[in-house]
Structure 1
């Protein structure tokens, strides 16, 4: 829906996890949003509340790119595009709470998936 309005976005935090990647509970959901905030607020039915459990993140201009930024190597989930696992791990690490535990699990999964080399 956001794409049809010319708004670029990608899910992060718990919104970017597949069910088999969830290692902890109680972590927030989030989306990186480039462009107008109002369509996202409307689309997701967001409202200001405490505690905050859905973050709308505004990417730094230098990170708002496909070339190594937040839109690089996105993963396609049933509900939309999500950041790559390395970016997701960074986002979780900075989110506080149990985010660090989730980040560490994602780094382990990412490392296990890397191809091994026979070179010394």
Structure 2
């Protein structure tokens, strides 16, 4: 009887030690997951750099949800701190945002091209 109780105590002790290790591992895993998910959330913050970034910023703010001329877009970019020539703005709208990415389309109203987000 004493040997059995002693054996049971040893087994109980080993089980408790394993349960403690499992709890420690679960705690470490949850801490690691929190650290990883926080980093991913920070990476998702959009940074708008350069002229393409400035136009992307205007699109994300909804400025191009209604048709806008190149001059209107150029003026709004200036307000946002993006200072580029009208020609550069026009070219990036046509080449990058219309032809390559297909985000924008343009409509001709009174001989003036107006750019708007493609639906």
Instruction: Give me the TM-score of the superposition, normalised by structure 2.
Output: 0.27
Structure with the larger helix share: 2
| Structure possessing the higher radius of gyration over alpha carbons | 2
Instruction: Give me the TM-score of the superposition, normalised by structure 1.
Output: 0.27
